[in-house]
């Protein structure tokens, strides 16, 4: 079977430099999701996974908007650690850019931040979230351990073929698997291991002698280049694969991200998204939420070859 996940970082509006809007606004949630994205997803019976941040959960209007979506989507969490308690770096995040990697905090603080956003989500929606992505893709083995303790089923923080830099150092996902796997939660989440949370990597491939190509809509990248990621997955994995398209909610609002600056850009962006969804449907993909992927790709009864020896040697 071929499955298609749509994972959307659902945050406050931003600015062209990725700093939070100032004053803080939520047009992408109050307008973009119900009026632009959901009608399009409904046409293809697609189930998006909206991964919501702390500031969204703290906003009553955003919560009510998301509640009205009902069973047409999945809701999970998305954490920028400096914006979230405990030990928030900023009391107000208006005009502030998130830079930190969650996994570079000490493990106790990381767990408490994840516990806090999980409890906040549960309070707002009446059930516990199953899916997660770290802000700036900043997840590591300790993140997976914490998510497992908190009852999550799936993470989508790994970006194959990509390396991230910050003042906290480097996160190297260049050798990560491209398809869902249960990760090593001791040393390296890019390797298969004994973790109890399914990793569903963002769909990215690297053509020979060229930069990585992402499965994500754009108003500047030709649609054929984006669909080329599906061509690659079909060639390499045939009829048994997961495509995971990611983007940010604010990308469908003019001027609220580095991408779509005008209404015309948004129109192009949504047309590209529609063409990608149509192409996925034509190829026989089944659209699923991220949590459903964890129910389909169950953890093996016995660990992959070499994993036990690897862990015993630590």
Give residue-wise pLDDT tens across range 99-132: 999 999 999 999 999 999 999 999 999 999 999 9
pTM to 2 decimals?
0.95
Asked whether residue 308 carries a pLDDT value surpassing 80, the answer given is: no
Question: What is d(CA 51, CA 77) in angstroms, rounded to the nearest whole number?
Answer: 4
Asked whether residue 302 carries a pLDDT value surpassing 80, the answer given is: no
DSSP for 79-142? E-GGGSSSS-S-S--TTPPP---GGGS-HHHHHHHHHHHHHHHHHHHSS---EEEEGGG---HH
* Cβ neighbours around 13 below 10 Å, total: 23
Residue 167's pLDDT is 87
Task: Give the H/E segment covering residue 259.
Answer: none
Q: Give which of 152, 149, 52, 160 is closest to 107, Cα–Cα.
A: 149
For the segment 197-226, the average pLDDT, to the nearest whole number, is 96
Query: What is the band of 42 on the pLDDT scale with cuts at 50, 70, 90?
Result: very high
Asked whether residue 77 carries a pLDDT value surpassing 50, the answer given is: yes
Question: What is d(CA 109, CA 103) in angstroms, rounded to the nearest whole number?
Answer: 10
């Amino acid at each position: 079977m071929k499955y298609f996940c749509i994972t959307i970082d659902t945050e406050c509006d931003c600015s062209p430099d990725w700093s939070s809007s100032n004053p803080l606004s939520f047009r992408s949630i109050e307008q973009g999701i119900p009026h632009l994205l959901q009608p399009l997803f409904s046409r293809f019976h697609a189930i998006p996974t909206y991964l919501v941040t702390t500031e969204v959960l703290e906003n009553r209007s955003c919560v009510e908007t998301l509640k009205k979506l009902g069973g047409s989507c999945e809701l999970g969490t998305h954490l920028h650690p400096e914006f979230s308690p405990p030990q928030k770096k900023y009391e107000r995040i208006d005009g502030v850019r998130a830079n930190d990697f969650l996994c570079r905090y000490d493990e106790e603080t990381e767990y408490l931040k994840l516990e806090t956003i999980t409890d906040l989500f549960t309070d707002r929606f009446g059930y516990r979230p199953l899916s997660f992505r770290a802000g700036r893709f900043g997840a590591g083995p300790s993140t997976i351990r914490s998510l497992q303790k908190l009852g999550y089923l799936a993470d989508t923080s790994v970006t194959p073929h990509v390396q991230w830099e910050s003042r906290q150092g480097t996160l190297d996902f260049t050798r990560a698997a491209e398809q869902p796997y249960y990760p090593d939660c001791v040393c390296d989440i890019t390797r298969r291991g004994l973790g109890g949370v399914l990793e569903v990597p963002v769909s990215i491939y690297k053509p020979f002698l060229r930069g990585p190509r992402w499965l994500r809509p754009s108003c500047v990248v030709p649609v054929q280049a984006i669909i080329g990621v599906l061509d690659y997955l079909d060639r390499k994995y045939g009829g048994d694969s997961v495509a995971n398209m990611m983007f940010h909610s604010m990308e469908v609002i003019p001027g609220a991200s580095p991408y779509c600056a005008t209404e015309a850009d948004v129109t192009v962006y949504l047309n590209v998204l529609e063409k990608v969804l149509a192409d996925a449907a034509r190829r026989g993909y089944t659209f699923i939420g991220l949590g459903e992927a964890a129910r389909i790709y169950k953890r093996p009864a016995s660990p992959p070859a070499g994993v036990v020896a690897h862990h015993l040697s630590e």
